[in-house]
Amino acid sequence: MALQTEPIVKAQMLIRRPVAEVFEAFIDPAITTRFWFTKSSGRLEPGKQVRWDWEMYGVFADVDVKAVEPNRRILIEWDDPPTRVEWTFTAHPHGTTLVVITNEGFSGEDEAIAAQAIDSMGGFTLVLAGAKALLEHGVE
């Protein structure tokens, strides 16, 4: 079966912390390394390239930061060939934040694209669960 449209992956989660705190957790590697990658070359800032390492697996990603809108949005490109990843942060009542991660731009044969999309969905769902565990309960 051929793909009719390019897959766009979305993962989302409500985190029971204020939007500024949740946003900071994704741009400050001192926090992000507590729930996602193990090492980073710096904070996410527009126009900057950073490297994220997962030392336990011996892998890394070069990340091109395209946009950072404080407490609202982060846009990056990563991987080879690159895909776009966007985080949006929406403040909700009672000091909670909805985080939506969208990943798109997968390439290759249909089967490879489908595999990349499925892997991305699982990975970003785990990232959000890790962020929620850390920010709401202090669990690393």
pLDDT tens for 9-42 read 999 999 999 999 999 999 999 999 999 999 999 9
Angle at Cα 116 formed by Cα 98 and Cα 58, nearest 5°? Answer: 90
pTM equals: 0.96
Rounded to an integer, what distance in angstroms lies between the CA atom of residue 48 and that of residue 65? 5
Q: What pairs with residue 91 in β-bridges?
A: 97
pLDDT digits (tens, 9 = 90+) for 81-132: 899 999 999 999 999 999 999 999 999 999 999 999 999 999 999 999 999 9
pLDDT tier for residue 1 given thresholds of 50, 70 and 90: low
Identify the residue whose tokens are 């489908």: 114
pLDDT band at 4 (very low <50, low <70, confident <90, very high): confident
The count of residues in the chain is 140
- Backbone φ, ψ for residue 11 (5° rounding): -130, 140
For residue 25, count other CB atoms closer than 10 A to its CB.
22
